[in-house]
Amino acid sequence: MKKGRPFVLFIVLGALFYGEGLPGRLHAAPHSAETQDCLSCHIQATPGIVSDWQQSRHAQVTPAEAMAVEPLSRKVSASEVPQGLKSHSVGCAECHTVRAEAHKDTVEHNGYSMYVVVSPEDCRTCHQEEAVQYQRNLMAHAHDNLMKNPLYGQLIQAINGLQTLEGTSLQTLPPMAHTNEDSCLNCHGTDVRVQGTVSRDTDFDTMDFVVLSGWPNVGVGRRNPDGSNGSCASCHARHSFSIEVARKPETCSQCHKGPDVPAYKIYSVSKHGNLYGALKGQWNFSNVPWVVGKDMKAPTCATCHVSLLVDEAKNVVAKRSHAMNDRLPWRIFGLIYAHPHPREARVHTIKNAKGLALPTELDGSWVSRALIDADEQDRRRATMQAVCSACHGTQWVHGHWQRFEKTIEETNRMTKTATDIMVQSWKEKRSRGLPDNPFDEPLEKRWVEQWFFFANSIRFSSAMMGADYSVFDNGRWFQSKGLREMEWLERMGSLQSTRR
């Protein structure tokens, strides 16, 4: 026995007592007849789904009960929930049939009009505020923001296009749909479309199934068959829909770990991530509202970016917002440069002076009309700093932000230098720039890494004080080395061209 393990003893003489709402305990709320019907087969057909759901709040608490708690603890934000849904659990039928008429993926299934792809519009029935806020995120539009930007289309082509050798030169074919789904759209979200239906023998009967392209997918900007976009299951995964899972940083790591956006990797070597890794087994990730210092001793991604936070006296430190940019003065994910956060979530509609769908010019200046102004930046910075200040003194918070914002400026200047080399190469025709693909030659690929990998790493690292990534792990070492290698490549290119 590990000493020092926290536990509480409820003594009930002569009886076994189970605490209310404990995970793993099945306090089923009454299920609807429809859901009971689903369960009768699916407990055998997909036992993992059923067990997962049975342990969820959805199976254990009715919407009516969920709406009765005090405001700060409420998880159901809709002021009204349809009468027919109020008094039983939120089960199979409640999610997979409630808006059947709006869903192109609806099929007849054992007498029910059932659809596969539950969307944020379905969840909105009870979680209205979150569904609405979520649409204000760039993430909610991640599919379109990528696929409707012609410049990014060239980037995808340069990455995902199938290459073949013709003579001594590489040729690139357009990427296949499945390749994009298997790579970029895995996170950005696919376009889920109904291709028809198919009949299959199952353990129960011969049954019709809808055939979907772009499926499976839980990308954040998924285009759904009901016309909506996004997927709540990106973070509230699978059939537990757990707030605990969404609050833990492993969830965010799914899409925020790579060299382009290494947030999780950096978090995990920051002091915050260090404490999370060491102590998470002792923290409370289910409590609503979430009490700083008591429920957790260091923040996770959700703490700083999403969650409703209070102190022990229930004073609100930060309001919950599923529009994560409410706390973001800067967009540090450089495209090509870091910049004030965009005003609108559908960033593919921004156009810079050259007509490119980018929030900055090639020289680093901002497309200001598309970006929030300094006042709005101040408001958002203050919102985020209120979270910092729950655990850090004034000097700490001010010093940290000052250093971070200087680093944003510095990395932009280093990106400008890389872009200067690139522009020179394009001008002197040693590389082929726009309208040709500006991302497919060796020098161009180095240039992309300068801003997409190294400048991003350094900024995320600065934001979270995750030291290694600001120096040697895709940080300044690689940023400075990359510049020197770009200079060298240009020199070799010039040598080569004089030989032709």
Mark residues 304-333: x for contact with its own copies by CB under 8 A, - for none: -------xxx-x-x----------------
In terms of DSSP bridges, do strands 330-331 and 339-340 run parallel, antiparallel, or are they unpaired? antiparallel
391 interacts with its own copies by CB under 8 A: yes
Touching its own copies, residues 284-303 (CB under 8 A):
284, 286-287, 291-294, 297-298
Four-CA torsion 372, 301, 140, 262, nearest 10 degrees: 90
Neighbours of 441 (CB within 10 A): 19
Q: How would you classify the pairing of strands 309-310 and 290-291?
A: parallel
CB of 8 to its own copies, least distance (A): 5
Within positions 200 to 259, which residues make up the interface with its own copies, using CB under 8 A? Answer: 200, 202, 209-212, 215-216, 218, 237-238, 240, 244-245, 248, 250-251, 253-255, 257-259
**Smallest gap, in angstroms, from Cβ of residue 136 to its own copies?**
24
Choose which of 92, 138, 146, 158 interacts with its own copies (CB under 8 A): 158
278 contributes a contact to its own copies by CB under 8 A: yes
Does residue 23 touch its own copies according to CB under 8 A?
yes
Site string for its own copies, 74-113 (x = CB under 8 A): ----------------------------------------
Structure token digits, residue 119: 């969307």
- Please say whether the beta carbons of 92 and 38 come within 8 A: yes
Interacting residues of 190 by C-beta distance below 8 A, sequence separation 6+ = 143, 181, 214, 215, 217, 219, 222, 223
State yes or no: residue 335 binds its own copies (CB under 8 A).
no
Task: Rank residues 128 and 274 by Cβ distance to its own copies and give the closer one.
Answer: 274
Name residues contacting its own copies, limited to 43-72 (CB under 8 A).
43-52, 55
| Stretch of residues binding its own copies (CB under 8 A), selected from 146-154, 319-327, 330-338, 484-492 | 484-492
- Dist. CA 305–CA 385, nearest whole Å: 11
* Distant-in-sequence, close-in-space partners of 454: CB < 8 Å, separation ≥ 6: 474, 475, 476, 478, 479, 482
Distance in angstroms (rounded) separating the CA atoms of residues 422 and 440: 13
Of 122, 324, 152, whose CA–CA distance to 224 is shortest? 122
Q: Is 114 in the site for its own copies (CB under 8 A)?
A: no
Residue choice 3, 79, 80, 369 for contact with its own copies (CB under 8 A): 3
Pairing, β 316-318 against β 309-310:
antiparallel
The only residue of 71, 196, 281, 435 in contact with its own copies, by rule CB under 8 A: 281
* DSSP sequence for 160-205: HS-EEEETTEEEEPPPPHHHHHHTHHHHH--B-EEEEEEEEE-SS-
In the region spanning residues 422 to 451, those forming contacts with its own copies, defined by CB under 8 A, are: 424, 440-442, 445
Residues near its own copies (CB under 8 A), total: 164
* Amino acid at residue number 88: H
In angstroms, give the least distance from the CB of 100 to its own copies. Answer: 17
Q: Shortest Cβ distance from residue 359 to its own copies (Å)?
A: 21
Residue from 403, 427, 434, 436 touching its own copies (CB under 8 A): that is 403
